[in-house]
Chain A
Amino acid sequence: MSELDELARVLPMVGAEPTILADEQIAHVVGHGHRILSRRSVPGLQLDVEETPEALVGKMTIQAGVTIVQPIHMCFGLAHPTGSQRIQIDVFVEERATARVLSHCLFPVATAAEHRMQATIAVGPGASLTYTEGHYHGPHGGMLVLPHATVKIGKGARYFSDFSLLSGSVGNLDIDYLVEVEEDGIAELTAKIFAHRTDQIMLKEAVILRGERSRGLIKTRVVLEDEARAEITGITEAHARGARGHVDCMEVVQGRAHASAIPIVRVFHPEAKVTHEAAIGSVNKKELETLMARGLTPEQAIEMIVSGILR
């Protein structure tokens, strides 16, 4: 089986169908290690990706006023147990453009591999970008995964990101996102992670509300089992009149797992407001007993509660 076929085979694990790669209406890029295996662009999208020995270097531009109807798929990964993948990508969503990007990170058999992404994203005035990143890792752990991004949201622009790692064991995951929001802009960051075995999760997300009436939400759902560890830091700063931010972190801890949550809120204007809530603990007892009172075993009840939290 080719590397392309191997990565396409596991696409359903992150909710995508392999047929997207053959669809001429759908833009995509598939990168294995530092090689491009497949790519396609569509009108209104400029997609440049270059292979270098050190990294895949790319630039994606959604042209002003254009709405890309179908999601743009970016599939990155390794079909081998070991290896390294570094990605440097700059994304520009020009004024009043709209796009959805689905990023699939696939490491089905990795045992000792590395995946680094350094992204800069600029969402122009009045533009909208929905960025969904789904990870699939096999059962072995042993990876080092470092997605880092800086995002600038222009005046009246919208940015929605959704990171999920729900299958397999990752190893070490270190996410670092910094998002700056201008006047009337909106940023919503959601992360859903299910960590197992000896996974180590570091998640740091910061939303800086620079403009008046800008809004930000950081929502994190993490479920840990076995001996997994997680440290979740959600930072929201409000610098201007009418800025509103909220940090919402929930971590469910099972087995011998450990979790910590560090919500940091800073307000630099008297007419700005930031709120936060954080909850760490075992599965909610009342939810558990309610489902057991309908006949589910404790194991079935926990599975159902966790699947809801991570949805």
Chain B
Amino acid sequence: MHKKLRGVVWTVTLPLLDIRNLTFTAGDQRILDRLGLTIDPGEIHALLGANGSGKTTLAYLLMGCDGYVPTTGTVMFNGADLLSLKTHERAKLGLTLAWQEPARFEGLTIREYLTLGRTSLDPEPALLQVGLDPDRYLNRRVDKALSGGERHRVELASVLSMKPTLAILDEPTAGIDMLSISHIINVIRVLKDHGGAVLLITHQEEVAAIADSASQLCNGRIIFSGDPAHVIEHFRGRTCVRCDGEVCGYVRT
């Protein structure tokens, strides 16, 4: 966007994702509390937080999953009012989510899962990016026979195939062996190379370290933001400026 102010043309970059004052309650429990967060186009933003801090709830809410409707707040995505859209409409805008515990599909092959009816799409590059051999995997089914780590990698390959504008990756390294974490980091970089942004939900400091920016979530609120090294240090330092560790367990040492 270009604005003219006092005779000077200023270029203003609108955030890709602009979350303001977002509150979500379940019963009498406030899971997200007036949360605010912005992500720019092409930015990798790591979101760190203890278990139960609201990270996955935020992911579900952004994707429009059933039952995740905020009580207050706005979410703008690429200029569109995200909260007024259904899940598949959000995906059509370029938003997607890789689940922390991905679904299993009886009968569906990995080839079908990666292409989803787009016959012109070649699923092999995405599988190679996550370190899976297409010859061995394309005709396997996305069912219980895949290990947790394999299923996670297939989920990331599925996200890669979509070339999203913003990918929400919820704990993408869960169940992945240490040797394969480099594949996951590679996927995040490839997403960025495609011009996409990433909201990276993780506990893994080495994964968070590749982000451009980071935030720490505690009890439904962003309590600290900045460059990843500082946020990781803050997170690791077990300090919480908001609850002093009473709620999130990150006790000041």
Looking at A294, A307, A309, A310, the one whose CB has the most chain B CB atoms below 10 A away is A294
Give bound CA distance, A304 to B63, whole Å.
20
Q: Which residues of B contact A305 (CB under 8 A)?
A: 105, 108
Q: Which residues of A contact B107 (CB under 8 A)?
A: 307-311
Contacting residues of chain A (272-311) with chain B, CB-CB under 8 angstroms? 284-287, 289-298, 300-301, 304-305, 307-311
Give bound CA distance, A298 to B108, whole Å.
17
Chain B nearest CB from A300 CB (Å) reads 7
CB atoms of B106 and A295 under 8 A apart: no
Q: Is B162 an interface residue (CB 8 A)?
A: yes
Query: Which of B76-84, B88-96, B199-207, B234-242 is the interface stretch?
Result: B88-96
Q: Given A294-B91, A294-B158, A289 and B63 touching (CB < 8 A)? A: yes
CB atoms of B99 and A297 under 8 A apart: no
Q: Which residues of B contact A287 (CB under 8 A)?
A: 103-105
Q: Which residues of A contact B105 (CB under 8 A)?
A: 287, 305, 308
Q: Given A284-B103, A285-B66, A289-B65, A295 and B92 touching (CB < 8 A)? A: yes
Give the residue name and chain of the B residue nearest to A286 (CB): B103
Q: Which residues of A contact B66 (CB under 8 A)?
A: 285, 289
Q: Which residues of A contact B99 (CB under 8 A)?
A: 286, 290
Q: Which residues of A contact B162 (CB under 8 A)?
A: 294-295
CB atoms of B102 and A297 under 8 A apart: no
Give bound CA distance, A310 to B106, whole Å.
9
By the criterion of a CB under 8 Å from any partner CB, how many residues of chain A are at the interface? Answer: 25
CB atoms of B97 and A293 under 8 A apart: yes
Residue in contact with B102 in the complex, picked from A221, A290, A298, A310, CB distance below 8 Å: A290
Q: Which residues of A contact B158 (CB under 8 A)?
A: 294
Give the residue name and chain of the A residue nearest to B116 (CB): A294
Q: Is B117 an interface residue (CB 8 A)?
A: yes
By the criterion of a CB under 8 Å from any partner CB, how many residues of chain B are at the interface? Answer: 24
Q: Which residues of B contact A221 (CB under 8 A)?
A: 106
Give the residue name and chain of the B residue nearest to A297 (CB): B88
CB atoms of A295 and B91 under 8 A apart: yes
Q: Which residues of A contact B87 (CB under 8 A)?
A: 289, 292-293
CB atoms of A308 and B108 under 8 A apart: yes
Give bound CA distance, A38 to B113, whole Å.
43
Looking at A291, A298, A305, A309, the one whose CB has the most chain B CB atoms below 10 A away is A291
Q: Which residues of B contact A289 (CB under 8 A)?
A: 63, 65-66, 87
Give the residue name and chain of the B residue nearest to A300 (CB): B117
Chain B nearest CB from A305 CB (Å) reads 7
Give the residue name and chain of the B residue nearest to A306 (CB): B107
Give the residue name and chain of the A residue nearest to B162 (CB): A294
Q: Which residues of A contact B104 (CB under 8 A)?
A: 287
Chain A nearest CB from B156 CB (Å) reads 13
Chain A nearest CB from B146 CB (Å) reads 14
Give bound CA distance, A301 to B112, whole Å.
12
Give bound CA distance, A297 to B91, whole Å.
10
Give bound CA distance, A293 to B116, whole Å.
12
Apart from A285-B66, A291-B116, A296-B117, what are 19 other A-B pairs with CB-CB below 8 Å? A221-B106, A287-B104, A290-B102, A293-B63, A293-B91, A293-B97, A294-B96, A295-B88, A295-B96, A295-B116, A296-B116, A297-B88, A304-B108, A304-B117, A308-B107, A308-B108, A308-B112, A309-B107, A310-B107
Residues of A in contact with B (beta carbons under 8 Å apart): 221, 250, 284-287, 289-298, 300-301, 304-305, 307-311
